[in-house]
């Protein structure tokens, strides 16, 4: 479980192969995998994509 103020990174869903998504810490350290079902649930309001958060885009360039 993570605090709401923590940033984690979740690999995008692989629709072709259905592989689980990898989860990384804010330091880009591998943490765990999550299933496609969990990923889809998170996309319904928990995950903030890069195109919706300009400060994240600027930091990754």
pLDDT, tens only, 23-51: 998 899 999 998 888 888 888 877 766 65
Query: 39: how many CB neighbours lie within 10 A of its CB?
Result: 19
**Is the per-residue pLDDT at 59 higher than 80?**
no
Q: What is the mean pLDDT of the chain?
A: 75
Residues contacting residue 29 through CB under 8 Å, at least 6 positions apart: none
Greatest C-alpha distance within the chain: 32
Confidence grade of residue 4 (pLDDT, cut at 50, 70, 90): low
Which residue is associated with the tokens 């103020």?
5
Using an 8 Å Cβ cutoff, are 49 and 57 in contact? no
Domain assignments of the chain as residue spans, ordered by start: 9-60
DSSP 16: T
């Amino acid at each position: 479980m993570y605090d709401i103020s923590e940033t984690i990174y979740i690999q995008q869903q692989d629709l072709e192969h259905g592989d689980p998504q990898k989860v990384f810490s804010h330091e880009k350290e591998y943490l765990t995998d999550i299933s496609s079902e969990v990923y889809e649930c998170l996309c319904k309001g928990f995950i903030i994509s890069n195109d919706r958060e300009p400060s994240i885009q600027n930091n990754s360039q």
